[in-house]
Structure 1
């Protein structure tokens, strides 16, 4: 996945995208300094779940099949796990690409 999906898009330090997705991650203790770890963790979990068929189908169009994959990460304060949906595209050539790291609870 592209690093820009995490920094600046997800954490949106300049409030350019105005989506507020950063608030969920910040409430779990994550900051832009965690962007590389989050990128790697989402990629790892998504690939494992995609191969296992653990995803829900979204829109299908000429570009490919959109899918949603549930991701689980620990709160940084040592508390419980949190889970959320991430959005992905499966292209006709079979490649899997992140479209949004946070698609909702």
Structure 2
């Protein structure tokens, strides 16, 4: 189990909990973003986004791409071929590596 809490400089807080070997009956794919007037709830691999406020709940449906990583892979390949700018700065990459190392350390 990986459990992480991050407090960003801008005041936004993140909490993540991952268990990649959970029994199928216990598997749940859910992201909830809380705000002052409600929340947004969605599954990373689902097709619905729930926008929930104090007065209403709206559901938006969309078609997930077959290969969700494909746009980033394509942009990265195009960068290395010299056809486009880098889709991720070195600073962003270092930040992600730092976060992953902190979350996965014991």
Normalising by the residue count of structure 1, what TM-score does the alignment of the two structures yield? 0.26
Q: Which has the higher helix share?
A: 1
Normalising by the residue count of structure 2, what TM-score does the alignment of the two structures yield? 0.26
Larger Rg: 2
Higher relative contact order (CA 8 A, sep 6+): 1
